[in-house]
Amino acid sequence: MLEINRVSKTFNPGTVNEKTALDGLTFHLNPGDFCTVIGGNGAGKSTMLNAIAGVWPVDEGNIIIDGKNVTQLPEHKRAAYLGRVFQDPMTGTAATMGIDENLALAARRGRLRTLKWGVTKKEQAQYKELLAGLDLGLEDRLTSKVGLLSGGQRQAITLLMATLKQPKLLLLDEHTAALDPKTAAKVLELTDRIVSEHKLTTLMITHNMRDAIAHGNRLVMMKDGKIILDISGEEKKKLTVEELLEKFSVASGDTLDNDRMILG
């Protein structure tokens, strides 16, 4: 479903701030894979997601989503294949627009936007049902401005937006990192439910080792813009935090340094 072939990206080339964020990265995802991504500071996790989403062009290599080479496509065109949820709850939604308007924007992802009405009555009824499924009491606040909602509510809505039109690939960039533990657990549970319901191919960055192990069928670890560890199947199911740390040291010859990493 996703093929990243020898992709490199260097920021600020030729300056003192030069940073090779992706270094000949090669990575493939099978249809239906739910892969968690962990790694230290500056390992290239978010850079990989941004490269897939087309936030900027890559220096080398190509990216193929569902058999289509998207390497040259601008960000807004790749959006047709992708669902994205960001770390900052403010990033994923338009604060001054209503919940229904935000969902309607997402429903038209990858489609020509016409001069038809932006949100139809029929859609509103449909969204109300979807929001009721979140169990956050948002179904009664359909036309409320998203800016008035809490971070957790906004992330839940962003998740709904990302999956409203079934994406080929769901990209979750530490989407629970800015939430309190209870809300984070709820959003993760929702993520699991939506991913399994639609059998979505998913890439989820997390700084929580336990979450990385508990969710998905595959786990990769990144360091210096490369993937240094790739665990799946039975091995992943039986994995423990201690084993993972051990494997990391062996694979990288280093200890894991991520000041935000939650080990247990």
Partner 1 sequence: MLAYFSSLSPLALLNSCPGGVAQGLIWGIMALGVYLTFRVLDVADLTVDGSLATGGAVCIMLVLSGWNPQLALLISFFAGLAAGLITGLLHTALGIPDILAGILTQISLYSINLNIMGKANQSVNVNKVTFLFTSNSKLLLRTIVLVAVVCAVLIALIYWFLGTEFGSAIRATGTNPNMSRAQGINTNLMKVIGLALSNGVVALSGGILSQYQGFADVNMGRGAIVIGLAAVIIGEVLGEAILGKRLNMALRLLWVVIGGIIYYIVYVFVLWLKFPADDMKLLTAIVVAIFLAVPYLKGKYFTKSYAVKYMTRPMRKKKEGQ
Buried b / exposed e over 153-191, threshold 16 CB at 10 Å, is bbbbbbbbbbbbeebbbbbbbbbbbbbeeebbebbbebb
- Least CB distance to partner 1 at residue 88 (A): 9
Contact 251, 229 (CB under 8 A): yes
Q: Which is nearer to partner 1, 113 or 121 (CB)?
A: 113
User: Helices 99-107 and 121-134: crossing angle, nearest 10°?
Assistant: 110
> Cα(204)–Cα(117) distance, rounded to whole angstroms?
34
Q: Which is nearer to partner 1, 92 or 225 (CB)?
A: 92
- Least CB distance to partner 1 at residue 110 (A): 5
Query: 60-65 and 19-29 as β-strands: parallel, antiparallel, unpaired?
Result: unpaired
> Cα(118)–Cα(108) distance, rounded to whole angstroms?
9
Q: Which residues bind partner 1 (CB under 8 A)?
A: 53, 74-77, 79-80, 82, 84, 86, 90-97, 101, 104-106, 108-111, 113-119, 147-149, 161
DSSP 120: -
Sign of CA dihedral 163, 165, 166, 167: negative
Q: Which is nearer to partner 1, 171 or 228 (CB)?
A: 171
Q: Which is nearer to partner 1, 89 or 225 (CB)?
A: 89
Q: Which is nearer to partner 1, 61 or 118 (CB)?
A: 118
